[in-house]
């Protein structure tokens, strides 16, 4: 078990590398990986169950203790990222399906990777977990509504159906994970220790499938999509930090909010794209999944060096 835990931890720390490798494999072997698109939704559900296994009631109690920081993080998450995404699609005149994909990523909540990056950046991890958890709970309502607002002119959005889908693939698995965690007690620690491995393998499958299904689009406009995704992420980091500083938060809180705003649950974006639109619309999510872990690692390294200087 110790060896499996060690492997899981190592895979979690080197996630960006595996995401990059999966993207390359998906591009060069599309005939093998493209059929995996049909597994994106159940794979994401498994990842969300893992997230639930790491949570407990105390994580949500944090909101009561520090409502201002959590509220600012949530507002920045669900206003800045969708707006930045929309503006980028206008500025770069993106293809409609690509534009939908970019906006979709912007409308998603933060992902669990942000908690790891916040830890490495020596930020406020408790605040990061609180924002991620509440943003995920709000996603069934806010993600479809924001997508309707910013991308409704591009394609018809079935709000009720999308809300139900997000509830099924995000909220229910998380709730189940929390219940299992509570029932197992300390025994759940053994399961939780291998969850990074499950999450990495799951995201790797999603990235490879989306890249494989979108190969033709990547050849035509992959570089442009990468530039847009990178700008989206970096602007999120920058504005998230500046807003947190303007609110007078501590440096550790600023870092947590910065990372929460800049990093999205790209797995959810890919799952919704595959379910409601076109695999091509999932391309920004796949690229975001690879890129934000590299950029997040760089941000964490800069923060750590700043503390040591």
CATH number of domain containing 262? 1.20.1530.20
Does a structural domain hold residue 189? Answer: yes
Q: Which of 31-35, 124-128, 141-145, 188-192 bottoms out in mean pLDDT, i.e. has the lowest?
A: 188-192
Lowest pLDDT segment from 47-61, 97-111, 174-188? 47-61
Residue 114 lies in a domain: yes
- What's the pLDDT score for residue 271? 84
- pLDDT at residue 247 in the model: 95
Q: Cβ(264)–Cβ(101) under 8 Å?
A: no
Residue 189: predicted pLDDT: 67
Of 26-30, 50-54, 118-122, highest mean pLDDT: 26-30
Tell me how far apart the alpha carbons of residues 93 and 90 are, in angstroms, rounded to a whole number: 5
Range of the domain at 46: 15-308
Among 258, 269, 180, 196, residue whose Cα is nearest residue 229? 269
Do 242 and 72 contact (CB within 8 A), yes or no? no
Q: Is residue 121 part of a domain?
A: yes
Confirm whether 31 is domain-assigned. yes
Six-digit token pair at 92? Answer: 């770069």
Whether 6 is covered by a domain: the verdict is no
Residue reference for tokens 């720390």? 13
- Is pLDDT of 12 > 70? no
Answer yes or no: is 1 within a domain. no
Q: Does the pLDDT value for residue 190 go beyond 70?
A: no
Q: What is the domain count for the chain? A: 1
- Establish if 10 belongs to a structural domain: no
CA dihedral 259, 206, 23, 291 (to 10 degrees): -10
pLDDT attached to residue 240: 96
> Do the Cβ atoms of 248 and 271 come closer than 8 Å?
no
Alpha carbon distance 68, 64 (integer Å): 9
Arithmetic mean of pLDDT over the chain: 83
In the predicted structure, residue 61 carries a pLDDT above the cut 80: no
pLDDT tens digits for range 216-255: 777 777 789 889 999 999 999 999 999 999 999 999 999 9
- Considering only residues 196 and 109, tell me which one the structure prediction assigns the higher pLDDT: 109
Total Cβ atoms within 10 A of residue 175: 16
Residue 129 falls within a domain, yes or no? yes
What string of DSSP letters covers the chain?
Answer: -HHHHHHHHHHHHTHHHHHHHHHHHHHH-HHHHGGGGGGHHHHHHHHHHHHHHT--HHHHHHHHHSHHHHHHHHHHHHHHHHHHHHHHHHHTT--HHHHHHHHHHHHS---THHHHHHHHTT--HHHHHHHHHHHHHHHHHHHHHHHHHHHTTTS---HHHHHHHHIIIIIHHHHHHHHHHHHHGGGHHHHHTTHHHHHHHHHHHHHHHHHHHTHHHHHHHHHHHHHHHHHHHHHHHHHHHHHHHHTT--HHHHHHHHHHHH---HHHHHHHHHHHS-GGGGHHHHHHHHHHHHHHHHHHHHHHHHHH-
């Amino acid at each position: 078990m110790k060896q499996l835990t060690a492997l899981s931890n190592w895979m979690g720390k080197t996630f960006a590398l595996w995401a990059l490798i999966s993207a390359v494999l998906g591009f060069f072997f599309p005939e093998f990986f493209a059929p995996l698109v049909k597994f994106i939704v159940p794979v994401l559900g498994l990842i969300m169950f893992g997230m639930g296994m790491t949570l407990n009631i105390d994580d949500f109690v944090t909101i009561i203790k520090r409502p201002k920081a959590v509220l600012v993080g949530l507002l920045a998450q669900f206003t800045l990222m969708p707006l930045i995404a929309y503006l980028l699609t206008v500025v770069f005149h993106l293809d409609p399906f690509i534009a939908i994909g970019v906006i979709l990523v912007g409308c998603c909540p933060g992902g669990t990777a942000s908690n790891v990056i916040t830890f490495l950046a020596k930020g406020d991890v408790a605040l990061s977990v609180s924002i991620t958890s509440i943003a995920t709970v709000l996603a069934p309502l806010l993600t479809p509504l924001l997508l309707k607002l910013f991308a409704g002119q591009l394609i018809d959005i079935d709000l009720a159906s999308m809300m139900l889908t997000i509830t099924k693939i995000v909220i229910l698995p998380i709730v189940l994970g929390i219940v299992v965690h509570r029932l197992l007690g300390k025994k759940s620690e053994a399961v939780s220790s291998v969850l990074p491995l499950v999450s990495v393998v799951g995201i790797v499958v999603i990235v490879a499938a989306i890249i494989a299904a979108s190969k033709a689009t990547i050849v035509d406009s992959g570089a442009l999509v990468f530039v847009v995704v990178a700008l989206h992420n970096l602007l999120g980091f920058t504005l998230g930090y500046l807003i947190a500083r303007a609110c007078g938060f501590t440096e550790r809180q600023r870092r947590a909010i910065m990372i929460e705003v800049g990093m999205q649950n790209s797995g959810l974006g890919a799952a919704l794209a595959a379910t409601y639109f076109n695999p091509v619309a999932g391309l920004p999510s796949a690229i975001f999944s690879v890129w934000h872990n590299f950029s997040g690692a760089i941000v964490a390294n800069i923060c750590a060096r700043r503390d040591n200087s």
